[in-house]
Structure formats: C-alpha cells, structure tokens
Structure 1
C-alpha cells in the first residue's frame, strides 16, 4: 500500500530563528547616525558626537528644547538613552537652569590596561548662578562594576578643570519606566503655558480640606477638567504639588500641596 504524503508540518519546521532559543535581541548591522537637515527657525544639534546610530540596548531620543541662553529659540538635542532624555527634561523644567548641552565634551583617557579610550559626556548643565555641571548617566548594573568605577575616575581626571565646576553620576535605574513616562508628559505640558489654570488649581489645592486624589480638585475649579488636569502636571513639575511619579499620574493619583 502506498504511503500517503503528509499534508502537515512538524512543529520543528514551524520554528523560526530567535523564536525559541535565541533569547537576546538579534544583532543588527551597524547603521550610520541620523543626520537632520536644516529646520526653519530651529537651532541644530551641536554636540561633539551624534549618538543616534542604531542600538539593541538603548533608545535614542531626539528632543526639542528651549533655554534662556538661546533666547528661548527651539533647538535640537539628542540623548543616547531614555534615562538620559528624562534627566535632561527634568533639568529643563527647573527654573534654576539657564542652558543645557547634549554630548558637549569628548575626553581621551587610558583604561586600567593602558588601552586608549574616548568618552563623551552626556550633558552639560549651566545654572542661573553660573555653576556648570557635567552629568554622567549609566544603569545600575554598570555602575556596580569595578571597571566602570575605574573608568569614571579616569574620565574625571581627563576632563579639563575649566570644562565644568562639578560632575555627578546618575543611576538610570532611579528612573523607572513609569517615572520616565510621567516626566515625558510633564515636559510636553510644561511649555504649553496656561498661567490662569495653574493659579486657579494651586489656590484651590491650598484651601481644599478634602484634597486626596487629583480628581477631588476638578469640581472646585471654574475651568474644564482637561485644563485642570494639565495644570496639575505642570504644578507637579514645578514642585508646587507632590505626587508619586513611580505610579501613573492621573485623576486617581494621590497628590498634595508641597510644603
């Protein structure tokens, strides 16, 4: 008896590459950094290194921003990771910040084995007082490695003394995914100014004895809920209201007036 030809596929024939055994992201060929063309009335990215080439491990973020140093003219910034992006946003929402640069300075140094290395600082922040700060953003797993600690020490030693007044190291793990999302939304709303809404919401929050959730404010302010909601975001960003940013910031969030 002739054996019938099977009309089905074994499971193994249906398994595609990376579906079962290759848990890590597939290595992709390196791509050139994205070069933006001229944008009308927008200052170009002016970092010493363009960090926007493709990566399997980090998000590259293009950020439009304004500072008093540039007469509030829009400018393009490029961050090498999501954490670096929200750290810059947090600084840009501070009333104490006068200017900010992405990828501002590159330094050369030798690692612990004597091999030549180059490092580009993530951010340079200039405060209204004139104080200048370099910011080094790295995830916690990396910061716990002895090699990273040695590299940071070498980078600090190789950085010219006149480049900044101090340097801080930021643990990217302090910026949870939800905190990053909240800060990103705050940043979008922060520069969409509505002074009337901000004033009404803050005055209401200060006198309301039953304030617990954000939604408790809405019936007591003479503006639309949308405007009141956005005002809450701006007031939290300015430090006038407080909330837990590691949870979703919405109408059921617990908020209070900052001391």
Structure 2
C-alpha cells in the first residue's frame, strides 16, 4: 500500500488540505479554541462537540482540522484519497489522527470505510502517531454537558479578591463548590462566576466526567487533569 501525504504549510502553521465550505446537508461553522489558539472549522454538530471537548482538555496543545491527505488503493485496487477530520497533539502522548462519525453512519455500519481507515492507521503508525474513529458514544457524555455549561464562564474576568480567597481555602484541601461559595456570605452570587470561571480555565480541578453540581468537589490541580478522547 502506497501512502502519499500532502500537507499544505503556511509559515509555521499547518493549514487544512481540504477547505470546509458551506454545508447544505449538515452544519458547518467554527469553534474558538481560546488562549490565542487558532479557530477550528467543523462541518457537523458532532465535530463541533469533539472540538469543544479538546478545548477543555488540559493535555491537548493543538487541534487541526482536515490535516493531511492520504492516498491509498481501495479493495478493488482503485486509487483513492482520504482526509481525516482532525489531528490532535498532546502535552503527553503521541499525536492522534481522528475521524468523527456517528455510530449509525451507513458507510461505517456497512464496513465500506475499512480500507481508508487501514491506510490512515498505517500512515499514523509510520509517524509515531495513532488513528482513532470517534463516535457520539465517546463524545456526547456527561463531560460534554459539563464543558457546555462551563464555556460561558471561560472568558469571564475573575474578581481578584474572590479568586485569592478560593485559592487560599483550597490550599488546606478540597471543598465542595457550595462550601466555597458559602464563605462569601451575601457576596455568594457575585463570587459564583469567578468560581466556575476558574474551573473552566482548569485553574481548579473538578471531575468533569461526572455531572457538575454545587456538591462537586473542587481542588487545586496537581499536574494535568486533562483527558484525551
């Protein structure tokens, strides 16, 4: 199997090898990744949700859409090309090519994508990367509900006095969100955006794989509480 990667590069930033245009059968758009990182283009709500999860993963340092074009031959010997949806790079761990698909996708169920996925797996392995097909089963989880809730708080400016009080309290151990807010008395409602903003920016650790409530335990982050999908 011959694989011929095509990566278009501008400056130091890899650019998509296939542009995402207007989609009439799905939903296209852009997901801001924050922290000065480039906006990522998506062409379905499932891709949007996947990108949002990467934004809230402390182990993810980069997300590129339509990153490489892989040439291969299908089962009939015909020349084909395939562009995976994303390349995810991590602080720790090998980069990963990702294809985002609904588990009910007819081509996925019929097995007609096996040759392209095999080509992507070989392409990735040759570079010390990984390749994964990710479905809504992996994406639309309680974690997605949490990051959707936290997103509006991510760019809210923290009130320094509230932030200092929260950090001081957590130096002696974990507290529930409700317990931390109780420290502010009549300023409880005013302190709430600062608290959830700190969780959204990963300045505080919460178990994002369980639904966030006022009883959720918060603590100071150790090294990295991110999780790759």
TMscore range, shorter length: 0.5 to 0.7
Distance 2:143 2:93 in 1: 29
Change (3 A) 1:66 1:218: closer
Q: Does structure 1 residue 136 correspond to structure 2 residue 99?
A: yes
TM-score by length of 2: 0.65
Aligned residues: 202
Change (3 A) 1:112 1:253: farther
Considering only aligned residues, what root-mean-square deviation do their CA atoms show, in Å? 3.8
Which of 200, 219, 240 aligns to 2:182? It is 219
Change (3 A) 1:112 1:198: farther
Counterpart residue number, 1:82: 45
Counterpart residue number, 1:52: 21
Distance 1:207 1:110 in 2: 55
Distance 2:14 2:95 in 1: 20
Q: What SS class does the counterpart of residue 98 from structure 1 fall into?
A: strand
Does the aligned pair in 1 maintain the 2:49–2:140 contact within 8 Å?
A: no
Does the aligned pair in 2 maintain the 1:110–1:117 contact within 8 Å?
A: yes
Post-superposition shift, 1:79? 1.3
Q: Does structure 1 residue 169 correspond to structure 2 residue 133?
A: yes
Q: What SS class does the counterpart of residue 141 from structure 1 fall into?
A: coil
Distance 2:32 2:208 in 1: 26
Does the aligned pair in 1 maintain the 2:103–2:109 contact within 8 Å?
A: yes
Does the aligned pair in 2 maintain the 1:106–1:119 contact within 8 Å?
A: yes
Rg comparison, structure with higher value: 1
- Looking at both structures, which has the greater relative contact order when contacts are Cα pairs under 8 Å and sequence separation is at least 6? 2
Distance 2:93 2:141 in 1: 32
Change (3 A) 1:200 1:119: farther
TM-score by length of 1: 0.59
Counterpart residue number, 1:255: 216
Q: Does structure 1 residue 157 correspond to structure 2 residue 122?
A: yes
Post-superposition shift, 1:62? 0.7
Which of 19, 32, 57 aligns to 1:64? It is 32
Distance 2:163 2:43 in 1: 33
Counterpart residue number, 2:6: none
Q: What SS class does the counterpart of residue 71 from structure 2 fall into?
A: strand
Which of 106, 112, 117 aligns to 1:147? It is 112
Q: CA offsets per residue over residues 125-179 of structure 1, 9 Å max, x none?
A: 22235842222221222344422344311332356833x6222322223333875
Counterpart residue number, 2:10: none
Counterpart residue number, 1:26: none
Counterpart residue number, 2:68: 105
Q: CA offsets per residue over residues 174-232 of structure 1, 9 Å max, x none?
A: 33387545423434433445384556446657454xx4xx5454322365425424523
Query: Structure 2: where are the runs of 5+ without partners?
Result: 1-12, 222-229
Does the aligned pair in 2 maintain the 1:204–1:221 contact within 8 Å?
A: no
Does the aligned pair in 1 maintain the 2:154–2:197 contact within 8 Å?
A: yes
